[in-house]
Amino acid sequence: MVLKLIGACMTLGACGSMGLVWAGVHEKRPRQLTALEGALQLLETEITYGATPLPEAMEQVAGRCDPQAAGLFMMTAREFAKMGGVTAAEAWERALGRFFPATALDETDLNILIRFGASLGISDRQDQAKHLKLAMNQLKAAAGRAEAEARKNSNIFKYLGFLGGMLLVLILY
Amino acid sequence: MDTELIFQLAGISIVITVIYTVLKQAGRDEFAFSTLLLGIVVVLAMVIPKIANLFETVRSVFRIY
């Protein structure tokens, strides 16, 4: 009897926390997108006004931007520092490959960032600024969509986790 | 016949109703409907053996073979 009760509590807790985690992922995505957008804004300033070399600019941005996006720029800067003979696009992509799994971003956001990276460091300042603007606009649109989605979905996931757990307990009891 | 089953079914139906309402409020009508269907299937799976048992008892009491 006691064992059954403990099992029921554990099932309920597991399902409930699963729902909370899902809701958390949905809530985190728009914030991370906004953070990335802000970081790209900083990068644009570094490139167009400061004319900072890319490795330094990456470090600067990593130091000043939102901590949620700092990892990506820090890893890119580290790739540059390795002097492994990679282009800026390759360094960006490698950093992205390590940064992406730890975030709540999805494939479309990844594609925006990869496409932006492809143009990184291959042209003059004005052209770089254009590419940065494009990526920022796309991230902003994605953030808006993610925000609407999060408002709709996060509460449902919270409820559904607990209710699903309760249902499972009742069925198995 | 144990009364536990009745309470269990009541609990399941309450939870299913709440899930249905939540999903319907969120505009996920198709998920709401499938939850309802799932609930019906689960409840039927629990009840049908009991009904079969009842028929069996009736048949054996009145000796209808």
Contact (CB<8Å) A171/B16? no
Mean pLDDT of B36-63: 92
Give CA–CA dist A32/A128, Å, rounded: 23
Closest chain A residue by Cα to residue B4: A173
Mean pLDDT of A86-91: 83
Q: Which of B8, B15, B26 minimises the CB distance to A166? A: B15
Residue-wise pLDDT for B55-64, tens only, equals 999 999 988 7
**pLDDT of res. A86:** 79
Give CA–CA dist A65/B12, Å, rounded: 49
Closest chain A residue by Cα to residue B39: A167
- Considering chain A, what percentage of its residues have pLDDT values greater than 70? 100
Residue-wise pLDDT for A105-162, tens only, equals 888 888 888 888 888 878 888 888 888 888 889 989 988 988 888 888 888 888 889 9
Residues 6+ apart with CB under 8 A from A92: A76, A79, A113, A117, A120
Rounded to the nearest 5 percent, the helix, strand and coil shares of chain A are 85, 0, 15
